[in-house]
Amino acid sequence: QKEVEQDPGPLSVPEGAIVSLNCTYSNSAFQYFMWYRQYSRKGPELLMYTYSSGNKEDGRFTAQVDKSSKYISLFIRDSQPSDSATYLCAMSYTNAGKSTFGDGTTLTVKP
């Protein structure tokens, strides 16, 4: 079993919908929780991060971490066609450079 499991998708939603992306993990030592966005044939770009438990909001994006359940989520409000990409969750217990990634969820937002 993988250390990080991500809901595989793919997801297809209409423009303006609320999107929920989720990952579970097994290693309780993880402290840093990141979400990356990856467009086709590009490297991942950091979207959101959370240290330890709690919520963090940035514009239309909200990241949640529940360490007791070993569950993290990314919510996207008022989704836009430009949000269409693959979303990767990642976790680390030391520094981001040694992250463990989920396999990604591909999101398509239809106009």
Partner 1 sequence: ETGVTQSPTHLIKTRGQQVTLRCSSQSGHNTVSWYQQALGQGPQFIFQYYREEENGRGNFPPRFSGLQFPNYSSELNVNALELDDSALYLCASSLAGGPGYEQYFGPGTRLTVT
**Which positions lie near partner 1, rule CB under 8 A?**
4, 6, 31-32, 34, 41-46, 49, 51, 88, 90, 92, 94-104
97 Cβ neighbours under 8 A, 6+ residues apart: none
The tokens for 5 are: 């499991």
Residue (76 or 101) nearer to partner 1, CB: 101
CB of 95 to partner 1, least distance (A): 5
108 class by beta-carbon count within 10 Å (0-12 exposed, 13-18 middle, 19+ buried): middle
Residue (76 or 91) nearer to partner 1, CB: 91
